[in-house]
Structure 1
Amino acid sequence: MIPDNRLPPRHLHVVRTGKTSAVIKWESPYDSPDQDLLYAIAVKDLIRKSDRSYKIRSRNSTVEYTLNKLEPGGKYHVIVQLGNMSKDSSIKITTVSLSAPDALKIITENDHVLLFWKSLALKEKHFNESRGYEIHMLDGAMNISAYLGNTTDTFFKISNLKLGHNYTFTVQARCLFGSQLCGEPAVLLYDELGSGAGASSARAARSTDVAAVVVPILFLILLSLAVGFAVLYTKHRRLRSSFTAFANSHYSSRLGSAIFSSGDDLGEDDEDAPMITGFSDDVPMVIA
């Protein structure tokens, strides 16, 4: 039995939203109804200013209903009431927008730039290529936004960029109704100094700056290596000369032996001097 005070459906809320659908849920005006209840659902499109209505019967205490044929990025006002009763419950729903195009990149030409991106139809089954894309630009130096146009291709040519300015480009699924029902934007920052000769001059200047830093460092490294090799070579020559002089002074090629003196018996007879023999003329050796 329906109460006399005409209670509206209770706890109306959104369970989940998608790009083209939304699931809503509510409870009956009173617990455990003993008969089917007729609910009227009105869906008002807040962007296109159109209305749709549905009816559903249910004896359950909790009712769930799926709204279909919605538009991505749309805004709706949903009203649920019991039969033709005057009191109702309502909520506002915003569907999920189309995704942003992937792989947005820029290529610089002599007098213009080209924007490239992947087709949105590759990941959005609800997107038709005939809808196209729209491109916007923000001039960061002057803080001015501009609408550059739309295209059904996956590239866009942009000319007349100013020297010394930085730009932010956005690409999104084309808006369908009064700059609404748009896709999510893909954003790309372009901070080159300009286009054409200006950009070439800027790139040349940056190359010169890099060379001015790298070349002296490489020269210092090579100079350090050359000095190091020179020092090692000098020490090697000196050590070899010292060894040759030492060997020549302590080896007798006539006797075929090396003679070492302790220094304590200088002036004594030669037969008392310690002597080490057995060295070959071909391989002189010194034992210290």
Structure 2
Amino acid sequence: MTMVITWEPSCPHAENDSLFYRLSIRDVIRNETSYYMLMNQKNHTHSHTVVAHWGGFYSIYVSTSLPGARSSRPAVCRGPVIPPPYDLTYNPVDGSFFWRRNRTLPHEILTNCSYVLYIARARNMSKASTYECAKPPLVINSLSLGIIYYAAVAIKDSHGYLSPRSQLIRVEKPLGDELVLSQSSVVGVSVSVFLVVVALIMVVGVLAVRHRRLARSFLTFANTHYDRSQGTTHITTDHNLDEDDDSPMIRGFSDDEPLVIA
């Protein structure tokens, strides 16, 4: 649980008893930086030992105490990895997640820790929602029906250090007997229903017009009669039909009169 940091002096042959080295160790997880002022050891290499934390991630810089001195390039170091949980499962019946803790988990973490569940729609876990609990199972009722999610879980100690995430699982809450429509689906269904209604209105209008014409034709036929005494036939026409108004009216005729067509 210790981290040994070594570096070489910028001027190995310079002897300056007043020279100090400034060591900066930034804890990336907790966003905290520790500073150490170390005396010149007059050696080819210098070293310093600090305590590392489970799950820690550190960025280390060193520079001399001289005015205008530049820091070294950062050295990155990780503390011991916290064993992650495993065997993450999801029960769609009650919306609960369950997992198992690693048997190699250190006792100092096990005595005071929590778990963080990550749920996202993207497989790369971007924009993941987090849910924290003391122990499994964890019930999540905010998942939408019929949507595919991805989930993973990590352990978190009392200082806020996290383990790697567990293996990713695919989660889907079944629709069951309920019908779920998205906003785009609702708009599409509404447009389809509107078009069907318009088509039905047009069909009903066409049938109504045809029925009206058929009724007038039947009325015209019913008003047509034959006069036996004069030997003529009278045909009644309806000027309200769609024929041109300039069409001549057909009147009765007899057999002894010539039929003249102009």
Scaled by the length of structure 2, the TM-score of the pair is 0.50
Higher helix share: 1
